[in-house]
Amino acid sequence: MTDTDRKIEHAARAFTETGTALWIAMLAKLEATNPELAAKIAQCLDRGERMVIAIETDLHRPTIWWATINDQGQLRRIMTVADAGVPLQ
């Protein structure tokens, strides 16, 4: 395994851990602020849709998208965290 491979593996594990914590926190916020939408999300998951956390890699304004995706690859955005952190260098 190369140094680059190790960096990728380490970053991927950290991304998974942090992404999981992020969507759990986002779901808790949604349940508190919009329980009807939270219930609709639960229905989507019951139908087999999956959760997606994605980073829009705009160098000046990184954004995080939280969505569901179905088997046809259709995304349904749930929540967006705009200006997610410092701009990328």
Contact by Cβ (8 Å): 26, 41 = no
- Condensed to tens digits (0 to 9), the pLDDT of residues 34-85 reads 999 888 888 888 888 888 888 887 777 788 888 888 888 888 888 887 766 6
- Given a cut of 50, whether residue 88 has pLDDT beyond it is no
User: What span, in angstroms and rounded, lies between the C-alpha atoms of 26 and 41?
Assistant: 12
pTM across the whole model: 0.69
At residue 46, the pLDDT reads 87
Of 65 and 11, the structure prediction assigns the larger pLDDT to: 11
User: What span, in angstroms and rounded, lies between the C-alpha atoms of 69 and 51?
Assistant: 6
| Bridge partner residues of 56 (DSSP) | 63
Of 31 and 88, the structure prediction assigns the larger pLDDT to: 31
Of the candidates 72, 23, 25, the one whose C-alpha atom is nearest the C-alpha of residue 52 is 23
Q: Which residue type sits at 18?
A: T
